[in-house]
Amino acid sequence: MLEYFGLIEKGMIINKLKKLLNDALISSREERILIIKEFQHAVWEDDSIEDENINEILTDAAYIFDFYEPNEEWRKEDPAYYDDERLIKEIRQALQKLE
């Protein structure tokens, strides 16, 4: 029975992370920035996801999101930085991989 509750909790965490990604897709730029930071924090601070594949998808996405730069001038400083359009693509890819 306790294992069952552990699975529910882990599933809830993954569902929360998916919800954050979905929310980021429909949010304004300002809200999207905050949501992505919340997603990254949740991924990096949570060690309850034991499924290596899911954990890798989440940590890869959190890392990739580090290169999102909404300020066009700052994006010019490093070719690794990307814009809103690419962020949306990266979010969709992460959600697709989590299905």
Query: pLDDT tens digits for 34-64?
Result: 999 999 999 998 888 888 999 999 999 999 9
| pLDDT score recorded for residue 12 | 80
Q: Is the pLDDT of residue 6 over 70?
A: no
User: How high is the mean pLDDT of the chain?
Assistant: 89
CB burial string 40-55: b at 16+ within 10 A, e below: beebeeeeebeeeebb
Would you say 68 and 36 are in contact if contact means Cβ atoms under 8 Å apart? yes
**What's the pLDDT score for residue 11?**
63
Strand partners, 82: 68
Residue written as token pair 């490093």: 78
The pLDDT, as a whole number, for residue 8 is 40
Of 69 and 11, the structure prediction assigns the larger pLDDT to 69
Bridge partners of 68, per DSSP, are: 82
The model carries a pTM of 0.85
The whole-number average pLDDT for the span 9-33 is: 89
